[in-house]
Structure 1
Amino acid sequence: MSFNPLEEKGVALGDQVRNWSELNVEPYDKRTVDPYTRCRVIAMNGLEVEAVMFSHQFARHTDIPEVKSALAEIRRIEQQQQKVVNWLTPGEESTLEVTLGYEQEAVDLTAWLARSEPDPYFKQTYEFGLLEDFDHLYRYANLYEMLEGKKAEQVIHRLTEVMPGRPTFAEHRHPADNIRKHYDKHTVHPLSRLHALTITAAEQQTMNFYMTIGNRYLEPIARGLYAEIAMVEEEHVTQYESMLDPGESWFEQLVLHEYNECYMYYSFAEQETDPRIRRIWELHLSMEIEQLRIAADLMKRYDGREAAEVLPAALPEPVLLEPNKEYIREVLATQIDLTSLGTGYVMDAHRRFQENLAKVNAGGNFSEEVIDAHRERFGAEYRLETDGPHPVERLREDSLTGRR
């Protein structure tokens, strides 16, 4: 059954305001939560943060009082929605446990976007970033056992494998090589547009999270690892945001943001296993439908265009968070040595790439040190290889051990 949020009736904006006790929701239980429920919470927090920050930027670039007022009203609700979503994360969940959730979400959300992406160039872009987030999960999983004495499968279960991806030390590119071609707003497939908005918001939230909490550790190796990976997340945001067409008007972008939130809340409500949290997704969907209606009205009044001109007639198939082990193994086997040159991808470790690596890696890499330290303490590195040995022979643990 098709679902078009433009034709649905949402909750009136004045009725969307909640009191403090309604915002201070009961968090999920970290011992029993479905890992993909945790991932959905992380993803929607990212989308709500993006909505708020976009609205602030729009407000700073318009001098129309009515538009500023409408943005402020919607933004208050988006802020409340963000509090509800983010407050679902329990305080008893350690920073590293939340981090493992962030990287599991990055891996399986990016893999799903890549699998369902209709544009070959954007599909390649998602696969390129996928192998880097996959490696980050492996590095943090080793740090987690070192600092907290626990194994990552207690957080991510056995849904996502843990083993090397494209090594983090090889992810530090020159900024000019993190820019991608943007879609053309006149010809872009609607799904490509929504994918680009989703991945930009998700990676931006990961970047923001690491920027904020990376200095909260006493252990130098932990601080160093967060610093190194946080810089890669900046690269990812640069990569994904450059896919958005800068020719889209502010009003068009507002409509797309609201529509994408409808899409993601609808998708996650469809697959949520926790009834209480599913009700939150459904409530927020009803709220976003009204916010979309207001955004569409603003675009009609000030851009002279109907929202239906830029939106699909119905929501695409829902975004699914699910295991992607076979797909990731295929990408690992064929793209582990890929890097970028300008807006394209190459297997050649070109001069600009090598020169930048030499600069940033001159003092060593915490991403490598954490594996060495884990190996020294436990006699082996931490991996979760549920579907057999690593698809790249040189990255199998026996091969790495022999080289060290």
Structure 2
Amino acid sequence: MTFNPLEQQGIPLDQQLRNWRELNVPQLDPDHSDPYARCRVIAMNGLEIEAVMFSHQFARRCPDLDVRRQLAEVRYIEQQQQKAVNWLLPGLASVLETTIAYEQVAVDLTAWVARMEPDPYLKQAFEFGMLEDFDHLYRYANLYELIEHRKAEKIVDALTEVMPGRPTPLHHRHPIDNVRDHYDKDTASPLSKLHTLTIMAAEQQTMNFYMNVGPEYMEQIARQLYQEIGLIEEEHVTHYESLLDPNETWWEQLVNHEYNECYMYYSFMETESDDRLKAMWELHLAMELEHLRIACDLMRRHQGREPAEMLAPRFPAPVTFEPNKSYIRDILATQIDLTTLGTGYVRDAHERFQRFQDRLHGGETAPSDLVLEETRAKFGQDYRMETEGPHPVPSMRRPAHH
């Protein structure tokens, strides 16, 4: 089935406002829901928050009162969508359980995007970040067993493996080495633009989530781990946002945001296992089609450009949450020892990387390693869940200092 959102009729904006009863959505059942249904909720929450924050930034830089009013009207509906989506998360779930679900999103969404990405440079960027999120999942799973005495397999099911990735203490790099080259807005595939915006939005929301929930813990080890991984999420947002072409106009960015929301709601509508969620994705898609129409009209009026020139004529294949175990194991076996240098990647710890590591760690054990030490001391071993045979242990040493 082909779907061109520019040819579809959405719900008129003046009919999109929902009342409190309509926003009072039933929560997911944490014990019986499809883990990937929760992943879709978390991913769409990140996309809605990015849409809202982008709209605010645009409004702060736009002198046209009518445009700012139009942005405000659409933005309020986006905020309602965000509330409906994020409030699906179960209140019974602990913050750490939601955190593990966030990392499952980061692993399997980024792995799927990397598999589908046509641009080799962007593909490498997605694979690089995914291996780090994979290790974050492993560290948080150990914290979960340590302080809540429960196992992460309850949350991720057997869909995503829990085992070491690129070691978290090695994720800390000098900030200038987190800035990548950007794609060219005039030659990049429309699919590449959607992929980059999606992963950037998901990582941004993870960064925001950890910034806010980390200090709510009493246990010092938990506070420390959220602080460490929260700083790495800052690196990841820098990594992904730098892939976006800064030469895109505000109008182009607005259209890309709305098109991407349409694409993601369409994807999840097509792949959702929960009928109740499927109905929400369908409703929000109908709303976003109107938001896209408005954005396109603004581009025509203020930039004098036809949006169809820059957009895919139809949606790509739906974004799919599915197991990526073999793919991830292949990346682990070949890329675990990478770090970054400038806008590229190297296998040896260069001088700037080493200086930053030495200054940050100060000869002390990183919180992410303390979690493993305390788990092993308490249970005799660290927690991991491997479902496809032994973990292919590549070199996980600190790269040689040159």
* TM range, smaller chain: over 0.9
In structure 2, the residue matched to 1:74 is 74
Work out the CA distance in 2 between the residues paired with 1:205 and 1:347.
29
In structure 2, the residue matched to 1:122 is 122
| More divergent stretch after superposition (357-366 vs 280-289) | 357-366
Give TM-score scaled by structure 1 length. Answer: 0.97
Residue 215 of structure 1 aligns to a residue whose secondary structure is helix
In structure 2, the residue matched to 1:95 is 95
Deviation per residue, 1:228-260 (Å, 9 max, x gap): 000000000000000001111101100000000
Residue 216 of structure 2 aligns to a residue whose secondary structure is coil
One-letter amino acid of the counterpart of residue 31, structure 1: D
Deviation per residue, 1:272-327 (Å, 9 max, x gap): 00000110000000000000000000000000011101101001111111000000
RMSD: 0.9
> Contact 2:137 / 2:162 at 8 angstroms: preserved in 1?
yes
In structure 2, the residue matched to 1:200 is 200
In structure 1, the residue matched to 2:131 is 131
Moved >4 Å (runs of 4+) = none
Residue 295 of structure 2 aligns to a residue whose secondary structure is helix
Alignment of 1:140-289 (within 5 A): 140-289=140-289
Work out the CA distance in 1 between the residues paired with 2:357 and 2:62.
41
Work out the CA distance in 2 between the residues paired with 1:393 and 1:84.
43
Work out the CA distance in 2 between the residues paired with 1:107 and 1:393.
19
One-letter amino acid of the counterpart of residue 46, structure 2: G
> Contact 2:28 / 2:90 at 8 angstroms: preserved in 1?
yes
Deviation per residue, 1:310-357 (Å, 9 max, x gap): 101001111111000000000000001000000000111100000101
Give TM-score scaled by structure 2 length. Answer: 0.97
One-letter amino acid of the counterpart of residue 344, structure 2: G
> Contact 2:332 / 2:394 at 8 angstroms: preserved in 1?
no
Work out the CA distance in 2 between the residues paired with 1:46 and 1:193.
16
One-letter amino acid of the counterpart of residue 39, structure 1: C
Work out the CA distance in 2 between the residues paired with 1:348 and 1:189.
32
1:374 aligns with 2:375: yes
One-letter amino acid of the counterpart of residue 195, structure 2: H
One-letter amino acid of the counterpart of residue 127, structure 1: E
Residue 291 of structure 1 aligns to a residue whose secondary structure is helix
Work out the CA distance in 2 between the residues paired with 1:14 and 1:236.
38
Residue 340 of structure 2 aligns to a residue whose secondary structure is strand
In structure 2, the residue matched to 1:297 is 297
Residue 340 of structure 1 aligns to a residue whose secondary structure is strand
Work out the CA distance in 2 between the residues paired with 1:67 and 1:252.
15
In structure 1, the residue matched to 2:32 is 32
Work out the CA distance in 2 between the residues paired with 1:74 and 1:176.
36
1:21 Cα shift? 1.9
In structure 2, the residue matched to 1:109 is 109
Task: From the superposition, tell whether residues 346 and 128 of structure 1 become closer, same or farther in structure 2 (CA, over 3 Å).
Answer: same
1:204 Cα shift? 0.2
Work out the CA distance in 2 between the residues paired with 1:215 and 1:306.
47
1:364 Cα shift? 2.1
Alignment of 1:307-386 (within 5 A): 307-362=307-362, 363-386=364-387
One-letter amino acid of the counterpart of residue 90, structure 1: P
Work out the CA distance in 2 between the residues paired with 1:242 and 1:86.
27
Residue 30 of structure 2 aligns to a residue whose secondary structure is coil
> Contact 2:267 / 2:319 at 8 angstroms: preserved in 1?
yes
One-letter amino acid of the counterpart of residue 367, structure 1: S
Task: Structure 2: state its 5+ residue gaps.
Answer: 398-402
In structure 2, the residue matched to 1:402 is none
One-letter amino acid of the counterpart of residue 277, structure 1: L
1:149 Cα shift? 1.0
Alignment of 1:1-20 (within 5 A): 1-20=1-20
Work out the CA distance in 1 between the residues paired with 2:146 and 2:348.
35
In structure 2, the residue matched to 1:306 is 306
Work out the CA distance in 2 between the residues paired with 1:323 and 1:368.
27
Task: Structure 1: state its 5+ residue gaps.
Answer: 400-404
1:394 Cα shift? 5.4
Deviation per residue, 1:41-70 (Å, 9 max, x gap): 000000000000000000000010110011
One-letter amino acid of the counterpart of residue 368, structure 2: S
Q: How many residues align?
A: 396
Work out the CA distance in 1 between the residues paired with 2:267 and 2:392.
32
1:393 Cα shift? 4.8
Work out the CA distance in 2 between the residues paired with 1:393 and 1:69.
55
> Contact 2:337 / 2:395 at 8 angstroms: preserved in 1?
no
In structure 1, the residue matched to 2:400 is none
